[in-house]
Amino acid sequence: MVLATQFDRTALARSSPASRDVRKAIGYLRARMSRKITMAEVATASGVAARTLRKHFREFVGLSPLDYLRRLRLAAVRDELIEGAEGVSITEIATRYGFSHFGRFSLQYRRCFGETPSGTLRRSRAAAPDKLPSAIRCARGIGRAHEKPSVAVLPLQACTTELNLCDFVEGAPEGIGAALCRIGSISVIEPTRSRTSGFDRRPDRELGARYLLTGRITQASQRIRVIMRLIDNVTRQNLWGDSYDGEPADLFGLQDRITDGVMRGILPSIRRAEIDRAQRKRPEELDAYGLTMRAFPLALAANPDGARRALELLNRAMEIDPDYALAAALAAWCHGQLVMHNGTQRPADERARALLLAERAGILDSDDPLVLTARCAVHTMARQLDIADALLARVLARDPTSAWVWERSGWLKTFAGEPETAIQHFRRAISLDPSGASTANRFVGIGSAHFHAGRYDQGALWMRQALLEQPATVWVNRTLAVSYSRLGQRVAALDSLDAFRRYCPDVTIGEVVASIPFTNDFLDRIAEGLSDLGLPP
């Protein structure tokens, strides 16, 4: 993969002047949400004429700069109302964010969120049992689309006095916290320091975190065992756990294994918990963050129906909060899937929309690992493999435990004609997240890599497995049919092609070839096989 510094130069060279204008303007608006701002001030800050800036904002965000600022302010007011502190004044909050006409503000708020400001406040105060103290709500990001789930890494509880393990007891949580901070996908509460008489432990609900990572260490003779658990700080549910054995002579090795295991285990567990929580809520209670979490598994399911359902949620999330980069990035990938999976009759329009939303997501947040991964997928769809490769390098440098990143790397290697490396990367994604929403897509990837290498029996095996895992991945039949044909199984090939044509009745060979960014050799074999089976050119 190319180095991250190379990506910076590539991105700078390819980013449009329009996107740079919008990026400057958004930074200016974000820093002045409580001030009265004129269009002339924003245009001056962005370095272009007001008319030009309006055009660029319409292109990337779908709003004018001042409409965008108004949406930011409405979202900020909603954040504070959802926090629901006693004695809070709706008028005071609205005035602080520049809304001087209360009647107009209330109307705009209701149009945007489907409820009145007082309705939001009442619902927030009645939100038990999921109600958290203010400190925890701020850390958790309830109602705050841009904040990430938070985890407090607690000191290990030592159940042995045979060895002096103080350095290990403090060092292991600190190492885990540092690794989690490097990823950036969750907020980390620093581990509390020990005192000579024990550990400085506050009550769990006052730690300001939705999730707690706890551990205890025991010793038997010359063996040490560390048991780690991830706990929901509200429901007290145990979300993940594992144990690690080592020896006193190799505490650094034990610490490294614990850190690696925790990184692999808790991030998928936290994401599943966030998705489950969003799915349990009524649609009218979901903010941009909740809508995006509900859309997340649909966006990763690798089928057009899931992508369309995800887009309904993500479009609503972007309407509520146009400043939310992850919603834009996932929406971009959903549009990209409609292209790659032959799920649209307007592939050029969907491709353009995907690239536009991906660039918008990059403007809003250029560092979030999930945003970077979704943008990588979009650029892969658009055959911009160098940009996709650079985006992947940035994510893997921060989070080598992300299953979705290894899945996207597998596809990138497959498209680039490196099937053996691709299979390794798909297998790593499966091992990191064996029950994820993308499992079927990883099976398809392995099958496609085998097809690329000429191992049609293995290709067909993995593609059939993908259909068993997720029957909605019908688009895989475009390659599966050719695999059967190459194996001399013509009846199975024709049945597979019929399934694909029922899924996409008027599809042509040209449309299939145009939708997927494989090598010319791969595409030639697909075209030849589909032609032999009777698909029109």
Residues 318, 331: Cα–Cα separation, whole Å: 9
Angstrom distances, CA of residue 475 to CA of 5, 470, 479, 499: 37, 11, 8, 9
φ and ψ at residue 515, rounded to 5 degrees: -90, -15
Pick from 470, 455, 457: which is nearest to 341 by CA?
470
Could you tell me the domains of the chain?
4-125 (1.10.10.60), 150-266 (3.40.50.10070), 438-537 (1.25.40.10)
Q: What is the pLDDT along the chain (537 residues), one digit of tens a residue?
A: 333 444 343 443 345 667 788 888 888 888 888 888 889 988 898 888 988 988 888 888 888 888 888 888 888 888 788 776 566 788 888 888 888 888 888 888 888 888 888 888 877 766 644 544 443 343 333 334 456 788 999 888 877 555 567 778 778 888 888 888 888 778 887 655 544 334 444 555 556 788 999 998 888 778 889 999 999 988 889 999 999 999 888 888 999 999 999 988 898 899 999 999 999 888 777 888 999 999 999 999 989 999 999 999 999 999 888 889 999 999 999 999 999 999 998 999 999 999 999 999 998 888 889 999 999 999 999 999 999 999 999 999 888 889 999 999 999 999 999 999 999 999 999 999 888 788 999 999 999 999 999 999 999 999 999 999 999 999 999 999 999 999 999 999 999 999 999 999 999 999 999 999 999 999 999 999 999 999 999
Q: How many helices (H) and strands (E) does the chain have?
A: 25, 8
Residues 537, 211: Cα–Cα separation, whole Å: 55
Pick from 269, 267, 319: which is nearest to 291 by CA?
319
Cis peptide before 268 (omega within 30 of 0): no
Q: Write down the pTM of the prediction.
A: 0.85
Residues 170, 471: Cα–Cα separation, whole Å: 48
Angstrom distances, CA of residue 329 to CA of 117, 155, 362, 419, 528: 29, 36, 8, 27, 35
What is the DSSP-derived secondary structure letter of residue 256? H
Pick from 146, 110, 180: which is nearest to 328 by CA?
146
Residues 38, 21: Cα–Cα separation, whole Å: 16
Residue with tokens 């939708």: 515
Q: Which two tokens stand for residue 132?
A: 């958290």
Helix (H, G, I), strand (E, B) or coil at 482: helix
Residues 414, 27: Cα–Cα separation, whole Å: 38
